[in-house]
Structure formats: structure tokens, C-alpha cells
Amino acid sequence: MSLGVQVAKADEMDKWFRDFKQTASPTQLYAFLWALPKGGDLHNHLSGAGYSEWWYDIATDQTRNGGYQYYTKVKINQCLGYGANEYGAGRQLLLFKTIQASTYRGLTRCQQQEYKKMEALSEDEKQGFLNSIRLDKDYEGRNEFFEAHWSRLNELPANPHVIAYILLKNMQAFGNEGLQYLETQVGVRGKLKADGSRYTPEEALAILTTMLDSEEAQATGVTVKFQYTVLRFAPSAEDDLRWVYGFIDRHRDSYVGINFAGREDNDKGYPLRFLPVLRELRNQYPAIPLAIHAGEVDEPNRHVRDTLLLGAQRIGHGLNTITDPDTLLLMRHGPYLIEINLISNHLLEYTEDYSNHPFGEYLRTDIPVALSTDDRGMWDSTMTDEYYIAVNEFNLSWQELISLGENSLKHSFLPETDKQQALATYRQRLAEFTRAIINNHTDMATDMPAKRQFICRYQPDLCHQG
């Protein structure tokens, strides 16, 4: 197709989309965005990306979870002798903490009576478990998320067979809504066998890569690469980073980058803590890309600038970059990208309202941005939900909309040849979609209950419009 024809098609689609937004019902807009080809999800925590139902399904299916039996806590007995030996102070009072059979066998009789086999839960108990690992109440926010959700999952993510299943389910779900690339954060240290002993990191990684090579995974059409995450405020974070560098260097076919995660309001994880060790490691290893959480905090600070000084190519969240004019200027026109997580930032109370989010300012001052899902299982959301909010709240033009997918692939950590192929595939899919829209040949039907569930939650006043 000649450049002139491409420009004409782009202009025609821009007008079509402008008119469509003015007349479409909520479900029509959602259906369009569901069908829209999407690039990549660059900010995805795999252990936070599993829907509650997926966790329950794999926990109770020993034919797929490696033969593990799981128990979850359904009552509090106030047993004598509770303390730091069981998961740390205070965590003994948390319902729906999940453990595997090898751990259960090590509990006292009193403690065992607090737990139930996952498959033996009553309907009310099962619903309680499902609700316990997603933010489904107005009064729940970041403390519930950071302090309780992960503690409840507990030993489920320590099983690499379980994580491989969560990975497959994500690939299938993302493939259904048109995503072509997933760059997810997943670790392989400390994984537990059914008897409580540990897998080597290589054994755990092999279980994940076997899943990626399976027919089920290949059928999704989604390409997956991994990032390794370092918990930024851990006392051992520097040594952890040294280990991660060496591991990724040995497994560059699977791992493409490193991330630092953890609450930024814990000052022990301040960015410049890691500058000396990163300089040490860059003298020892070929370059490993960095995509680091920064600016996911309430107060103005210079964490984003300091994170760029660490060598980060991408900033996760970047909310408070808006408070640092010098860094804003530095980020205009690239080469750095901000990974935008609209739903996460709202549910964790970093933005009071979507209209307060700086996404529009970044987008329209030429700071590269892409939408991502963060811990989507705990929000019970999809990439299409992120797109729907972006279009609805920020009145995106067609060119702005498709730039999000383009940016996600341009700023991915794929090897250059693979990146160019991914971009070519995305542009081809988008061209076919655009032609079908203009020629009125696109079937945008999607699962109506799923669409209505999100629209009614996000726009209850418009729910009746269909």
C-alpha cells in the first residue's frame, strides 16, 4: 500500500472513530475495543494476574497442579504456641491463607482444625476464598492488597505447575482480546515440591518453558517473555540482584529484563540504594534491560529521575513524574516509556478519580506511554477495560489509541529482530482491522455478560443502555 493510500485510510479511520464515539452505546464501544488488535502488556505481575477462579481451579486439580493437595484457613482457633514460626507475626489471624499438604502436616492439631481442603469448601467458604484475593469492596485499598492478598495466596505461587497454569490462562484470555505480546514478571527461586523440598531455579523454569512450548499455549498466538523481579526493600536486595543478573545472563532466551517492585512508601527501597551494585554488575555482564517501578507513591519526590539514573528504560506507573518538571522534560519524545496502569492506580487510591491521572498529560506532551494491567487478577479486569477507561475518560483520538499498542512493542525488551517482526505483525493486523471497519465487515460481538459486568461496575448510570 502506498504512503498516500495509508494516510487516506488513517484520515478516514480517524473520522470514523470520532463519529463512532459520539453515537456508540457503552457495550458497542467496549465491543469495538475488545476486537481492536493490541500490542503488548509490559507491566504484568504473573502471581497477581490470576483471577480468583483460576487459582481455585488449579488448587483443586491434582492432575494439573503436580499432584499437590492444598488447604485454606476457614476459622481462627487462637491456638497456643502461634508465633513467628508460622508465616510471621500477625499473619495467623488471616482467613483464607493457603498452604500445601507438607506444611499442613507440620501444624499442631489445633492449627490443623483451622484449615480445610480446598475441594471440601462449602459454597460460602469457596466464595469467601474467591473474594479474599480480589479488591471487591469499596473499603479495600492498598493495605488490603499489599498486606493481605499475597499472604493469602501464600504457598500457591510457590508451585511452578500452578504458576504455569496461571500463565496459560493469561495467554488464552489475552489472546481472546487481541493481545500479541506479554512481558510478565515471574521468579523461579524458592519454589516448593509437594513434599516441601525445593526445586532448583532451573527445574522451576523448565516447567514454565514446557508450558510455553505446549500446543495449548502456542494456539493462543501470544508471545511471552519474562522479567525477574527484585523486592526493593528486602535486606538482601543487593545480593538478590547479583543472583538475578547471573541467572538472566544464563537464560536470556526466556528472561529479557529486571524489575524492582515493592511499596515505594517503604523508604528502605529508595532507588539510589541500587546504583553501586548496578554499576558493579554492568562491569561484569552484557546489558540487561531494566523496567522499574517508580512514582507509585502519594508524595512528590524524585524517584523517577533517580530510577532513570539507575539505567531504567521503562518506568512502571510514573504517577508522580508530573510533580518533577525537569524529569518531565527529560522524558519527552523518549527514549523512556511510562507503563500506565489506570485501574491499579485508582483501586489502590493513588488517584482519587481517573480525571486526576496524569496519563493524558503524558500522552499529549509526547512522553511515550502504553497501557498495562499490573495485577489484573486482583482487579478482576482485562486489557480491554484499561482501553475502555482510557477512551472514555481521556477522549482518545484514533491515532492516540493505536499509538498505545505501537509503543508497547517499540519499547518491549524483545531482541531487535523479534521486535521488528512483532511491529510488522501488529501493523498488518491493524490494517486488516481498519479495512474491515471502513468496509463494515467486522463482527465485534463479544461475551455480553463480561462486558456488562465491567460497564455496570465502572459506569452504573449507563448500565441500562446496553
Amino acid 451: pLDDT: 66
* Phi, psi (deg, nearest 5) at residue 127: -65, -35
145-195 residue pLDDT tens: 998 999 999 999 999 999 999 999 999 999 999 999 999 999 999 999 999
Amino acid 265: pLDDT: 87
Residue keyed to cell 471487591: 136
Average pLDDT over residues 115-144: 94
CA distance 223 to 289: 18
* Phi, psi (deg, nearest 5) at residue 212: -60, -30
Amino acid 456: pLDDT: 75
> Are 274 and 238 a contacting pair, CB within 8 Å?
yes
Residue with more model confidence, 458 or 221: 221
Share of the chain above pLDDT 70, in %: 91
CA distance 339 to 269: 20
202-245 residue pLDDT tens: 999 999 999 999 999 999 999 999 999 999 999 999 999 999 99
Asked if residue 464 has pLDDT above 70, the reply is no
Residue keyed to cell 494439573: 64
Reported confidence tier of residue 85, pLDDT bands at 50, 70, 90: very low
Average pLDDT over residues 338-344: 98
Amino acid 81: pLDDT: 59
Amino acid 5: pLDDT: 40
Asked if residue 463 has pLDDT above 50, the reply is yes
Q: Does domain 30-50+159-430 have CATH number 3.20.20.140?
A: yes
Cell of 464: 441500562
Residue with more model confidence, 47 or 136: 47
Could you check whether the bond before residue 358 is cis, i.e. omega within 30 degrees of 0?
Answer: no
Q: What is the chain's mean pLDDT, rounded? A: 92
Could you tell me which residues come within 8 angstroms of residue 448 by beta carbon, excluding any fewer than 6 positions away?
Answer: 27
3-state SS of the chain is CCHHHHHHHHHHHHHHHHHHHHHCCHHHHHHHHHHCCEEEEEEEEHHHCCCHHHHHHHHCCCCCCCCCCEEEECCCCCCCCCCCCCCCCCHHHCCCCEEEHHHHCCCCHHHHCCEEEHHHCCHHHHHHHHHHCCCCCCCCCHHHHHHHHHHHHCCCCCCHHHHHHHHHHHHHHHHHCCEEEEEEECCCCCCECCCCCECCHHHHHHHHHHHHCCHHHHCCCCEEEEEEEEECCCCCHHHHHHHHHHHHHHCCCCEEEEEEECCCCCHHHCHHHHHHHHHHHHCCCCCCCEEEEECCCCCCCCHHHHHHHHCCCEEEECHHHHHCHHHHHHHCCCCCEEEECHHHHHHCCCCCCHHHCCHHHHHHCCCCEEECCECHHHHCCCHHHHHHHHHHHHCCCHHHHHHHHHHHHHCCCCCHHHHHHHHHHHHHHHHHHHHHHHCCCCCCCCCHHHHHHHHHHHCHHHHHHC
Q: Which amino acid is at 279?
A: R
- The sign of the torsion formed by the CA atoms of 60, 63, 65, 67 equals positive
Average pLDDT over residues 396-400: 97
Amino acid 93: pLDDT: 81
Asked if residue 88 has pLDDT above 60, the reply is no
Amino acid 225: pLDDT: 98
Amino acid 305: pLDDT: 96
Reported confidence tier of residue 86, pLDDT bands at 50, 70, 90: very low
Reported confidence tier of residue 28, pLDDT bands at 50, 70, 90: very high
Q: Where are the domains of the chain?
A: 30-50+159-430, 52-133
Reported confidence tier of residue 440, pLDDT bands at 50, 70, 90: confident
Asked if residue 58 has pLDDT above 70, the reply is yes
Could you tell me which residues come within 8 angstroms of residue 239 by beta carbon, excluding any fewer than 6 positions away?
Answer: none
